[in-house]
Structure 1
């Protein structure tokens, strides 16, 4: 059961990875050029909504017992923490390491953005979400710690 949930969770992650990055790049290359972390945050928020529906109805469909409003509140609380976890590497890359134009060329900036936000940030947030969703949001049985 756990293996099947992990595979489904990873598939949902793949879909939301595409949604997140599509929104992020659309915003950061158009109206939020000067605010890449804000653009990333918006991309994550859109992907989080998609993630809730897919995880609720597919990945963890056989779990839980919580009422939907309570479950949704927990899901979005866990996801809010994941959003922070996800944007911290991008913020550090851009502002602490100065991996942005004019300190580096545009190609280096974009590679650093992708590596920090879409690889490292997503990986850290994914680990957090999988653990927290199983433990608190979609427990094996209501009231257990999964």
Structure 2
């Protein structure tokens, strides 16, 4: 039993049904939060050290590393019941879709940095870092997230129950109270 399953079991009805219905989206968002921490940690480490003059390069490197972590987490957790493709085709499509996502994430940063010149010495280091965060992590990640969730379900993991899932199910087992309610309803 996972922590997520335990949390879902404690959600009151009818919200539990909504959480179960959007189980993949919730898990995708948790994976996204995890990879956000990976991405931003690597990005700022590189940007503030060895790639100080090359923020777009730092973003591409951090994005690629985050995508690798995302593939593993999404395949084995978020979309674990989906499939429909041979593993090597699935991986290729995942990385192609994620590559588009990386591009979507750095386009706002590129515009902020090189079109609007929000770089030191034209602006303060604080303004540069705020502009980088807003453009790369808020605008860019929102664009990337919406595209990737749609494309993952549509192209990468197209068959919802290919790996043994059951319609409307999650790993959450019913509580004794739910079992009793079900038995009373059928008597």
Please tell me whether Structure 1 or Structure 2 has the larger radius of gyration of its CA atoms: 2
**2:65 corresponds to:** 46
Query: Aligned residue pairs: how many?
Result: 142
Matches within 5 A, 1:22-101: 22-101=41-120
Moved over 3 A (4+): none
* 1:37-74 per-position Cα deviation (integer Å, ceiling 9, x unaligned): 00001000000000000000000001112111000000
Q: Gaps spanning 5+ residues in structure 2: where?
A: 1-19, 163-187
Q: Does structure 1 residue 13 correspond to structure 2 residue 27?
A: no
Q: 2:142 aligns with which of 81, 105, 123?
A: 123
Aligned with 1:102: secondary structure? coil
* 1:49-105 per-position Cα deviation (integer Å, ceiling 9, x unaligned): 000000000000011121110000000000111111000000000000111111111
Question: Structure with the greater relative contact order (CA < 8 A, sep ≥ 6): 1 or 2?
Answer: 2
User: C-alpha root-mean-square deviation of aligned residues, in Å?
Assistant: 1.1
Higher helix share: 1
**CA drift at 1:140:** 2.7
